[in-house]
Structure 1
Amino acid sequence: MSFSAYRAHWSAVLVIGAFTGVLSGCASPAGDDGEGDSSAEEKPVVLTTFTVLQDMAAEVAGDRVDVRSLTPAGAEIHEYQPTPGNLRDAADADLVMENGLGLEAWFAQFVEQSGADSVTVTEGIDTLPVTRLPGHPDADSAEDLPVNPHAWMSPSHAVSYVENIEQALADLSPDDAEYFEENAQDYITEITSIRDAARAELETAGSDVHLVSCEGAFSYLAEDLGVGEHYLWP
């Protein structure tokens, strides 16, 4: 491997690590009572379908909303089987946030059974299709292919997530709208600074830069950074 290829490889690795760090936190999933504090009971409760959304929502919500994840870290989100406890938590919550784009195959039935109010945080995002494995026939057009739901992997799309989360929280608690806006803008600044630094670093690596992964979950990131993408399965 040449030095330029080596540098390009680690540039991609570093941006994934840095951006994942921005989207990761240590909040507990719903149902984990922990010690907590009594004031949390007085705050609006917002549930998210998985921990990445929990982390993003918590950055915007600050100390004004109790944000929890329905699923634990590392859970298989696509085919998750909600528990009776999840249904109770959703019924008691003020709002449930989902990714949408087909990520949570179980969500529509879950909302119907729990009666929870919900919002989709990917509204307005230009989606990419899930392409097929090499050697398999593709559909005639992108419209015939399923949507890739992993839009949060792109820093630019993550900004849209944050903006949608901010609006949902402002609708839920209008008195805190200015507070949510300030938190959202700080978070957006952090996300875009990581994106811009990654783009600048990758420009020094030349034009032939590729992101290789097991699953095709990084298509939005590859597009955002202008690099090629290869994976073992879609």
Structure 2
Amino acid sequence: MTGVRRLAVVAAVAVVALGTTGCSAAERDDRPLVAVTTNILGDVVERVVGDSADVMVLMPRGADPHSFEASAQEAARLRTADLVVENGLGLEEGVARHVAAAASDGVRVFTAGEAVDVLEWTSEDASGPDPHFWTDPARMTAVVDALGEELHEVPGLEDGALDRALEGYRDDLEALDGDMTAAFAALPEDRRALVTNHHVFGYLADRFGFRVVGAVIPSGTTLASPSAADLRDLAAAIEDADVPTIFVDASQPARLAEVLADEVDVHVAIRSLATESLTAEGEGAASYLEMMRSNTDAIVDGLSVGG
């Protein structure tokens, strides 16, 4: 083969390769875009739609959903989505305005919090809707059912494959609920008392028969701050309930819980949980299902101390 012919063949192969690559990119671009505000709901959406949609998850793993802010590029792409999935109930405080802008442009928005029986967090001076419904797998099943109806309206998603994926994930949630029920049954009733860094386990407490003694930050958001009186009142409640462990979210510093532990004249352990954000692979909470099982084990272990 002459040098000229060899160059021609190489050029032809390059054109074919570029054409193939271009087709693949076009095929990817033709998929519907589903934008999700939190990584917990993002995990659920990804497991249901698989590769049939381009899923853009705004919140990175390990982030605090209360304080996370979307970039200008992400906000712009949000307004081009076929569907936006948000938690709602005041959770995504730094993203809500971008979701509202997308909705005003005509983008369909699914608010997961509207699919559940909403509880309120309460403190001595305030209250509000609790956005942390995912701590109850039964409520997450209701969310998945409602999400499925929305996904069926997204052009480009195949109904049969979507139904099979939804059914499989419902089975996973049912198994999770059964495992959590069995694990918590090992705790005597007088040990089912929870103290957290803010009000995050209200739905879990409601579903599995726990008492929420209080929170270091007496609010449903991490952006609030406790007063000295709040800390004193909670310290007294912890002593009265004989709580052995305070649970803090892994995305938040444990400083406030440590300050509280210093005020309580008894030994109180501080245990970090991934409650509002997933972790990287291998860190114990890479998926919603893994996070819930890991937290269940940690809660049982933490509340069994001294029991």
TM-score tier after normalising by the smaller chain length: 0.7 to 0.9
Supply the distance in 1 between the matched residues of 2:108 and 2:95 (Cα, whole angstroms). 12
Q: Map of 1:53-202 to 2, 5 A cutoff?
A: 53-114=41-102, 115=105, 116-132=107-123, 137-138=124-125, 145-173=127-155, 176-202=158-184
Which protein, 1 or 2, shows the higher relative CO under an 8 Å CA cutoff with sep ≥ 6?
1
TM-score, normalized by length of structure 1?
Answer: 0.72
Query: Which string of whole-angstrom CA distances, capped at 9 and with x for unpartnered residues, describes residues 27-47 of structure 1?
Result: xxxxxxxxxx63422211101
Query: Which string of whole-angstrom CA distances, capped at 9 and with x for unpartnered residues, describes residues 94-139 of structure 1?
Result: 111111111123445313434333221222311111121xxxx346
Supply the distance in 1 between the matched residues of 2:165 and 2:143 (Cα, whole angstroms). 13
TM-score, normalized by length of structure 2?
Answer: 0.56
**Pick from 175, 189, 192: which aligns with 1:207?**
189
Which structure 1 residue ranges, 5 or more long, are not aligned? 1-36, 140-144
CA contact (8 A) 2:85 2:110 kept: yes
How far is the alpha carbon of 1:229 from its aligned partner? 2.5
CA contact (8 A) 2:135 2:201 kept: yes
**Which sits farther off after the overlay, 164-173 or 211-220?**
211-220
Supply the distance in 2 between the matched residues of 1:105 and 1:122 (Cα, whole angstroms). 14
How far is the alpha carbon of 1:149 from its aligned partner? 0.6
**Which sits farther off after the overlay, 111-120 or 160-169?**
111-120
Query: Which string of whole-angstrom CA distances, capped at 9 and with x for unpartnered residues, describes residues 137-162 of structure 1?
Result: 346xxxxx210111111111111121
Supply the distance in 1 between the matched residues of 2:69 and 2:168 (Cα, whole angstroms). 35
* Amino acid corresponding to residue 180 of structure 2 in structure 1: A
Number of residues paired by the alignment? Answer: 189
Sequence identity (%): 27
Rg larger in structure? 2
Query: Which string of whole-angstrom CA distances, capped at 9 and with x for unpartnered residues, describes residues 172-226 of structure 1?
Result: 1376122212111111111121211221232233222233332221111121111
**Pick from 220, 223, 227: which aligns with 2:203?**
220
CA contact (8 A) 1:44 1:93 kept: yes
Secondary structure of the equivalent of 2:129?
coil
